[in-house]
Structure 1
Amino acid sequence: MNDRIEAFLTMLARGQDSAMLRFSLGNEYYGQGELTEAIPHLRAALELDRNYSAAWKLLGRALNDTGDASEAMSIFEEGIRIATNNGDRQAAKEMTVFLKRLRRQMDLL
C-alpha cells in the first residue's frame, strides 16, 4: 500500500467521505493494479455523485480489466449518457471509444 492510499484511508476513517475522496482511492488502487480494491471505491464515488464522469470511466475500465466486460459495457453506456447530459464531451468521447472496443471484442468471442 502506498502513502497516498494510506492517507486517503485515514481521511475516510475520520469521516471525510466524499465522491472525490472515493474516486481518488479508486484511482490509486487502479494505478497499483489492485482492481478488486478500486471497484468498491469507484462505486461509492458514484453513489455520492452520479454525475462524476471520471468515476464512470474508471469503473468501466476496472470492471473490464477484471474480466467483467458485460458490466463494463453497462457502466460505459450509463456514463456516456450522464456525461453527455452534463456537457462533458471529452469523458463521453473516451467512454464511447472504450465501449466500441468492448463491443468489437465481444463480437470476436
Structure 2
Amino acid sequence: MAKGLDNDVYELANQRVFVQDGKATLEDGTLAGSMLTMNSAVLNMMSFTNCSIEDCIKMSSVNPAKQLGIWKRKGSIDIGKDADIVVLNENNFVVMTICKGTIAFSHHCEPFLRK
C-alpha cells in the first residue's frame, strides 16, 4: 500500500507505516510490505534471469490476466479488449501508460502522441 509514497508516516490498513528511502516498516521495524513497482520487478527479472522482454511481458500481463479470469478483456492488445498498454523506451523504462484507451501517464512521449 505504500508503493510510490514519499518519506513520511502513514496510516495504512489501520497501522502506522513508516516510509523511508524506499522501505516501508511498522513501528517495531517489521517490513510493512513491498514497495517494488511493476516496472522495477520486470527489470529485476530480466537482469537476474536474463529472460527476454517477451517472457517478462507474458509473466506480467498474459499470465496474471488468465489466472484472474479476465483474459477476455485484459492481458493483451486485441479488438474488444480494454486497451491497457504500457509503452517502454529503448532501456525498458515506462514512458507512457494507457488505461482503457486514455493516456494515464506520459513522460517525454511527444514522439508517440499525435496532435
Q: Which has the higher strand share?
A: 2
TM-score for the superposition, normalised by structure 1 = 0.31
- In terms of Rg, which structure is larger? 2
TM-score between the two structures when normalised by the length of structure 2: 0.30
Structure richer in helix, relative to its length: 1
Q: Which has the higher contact order (CA 8 A, sep 6+)?
A: 1
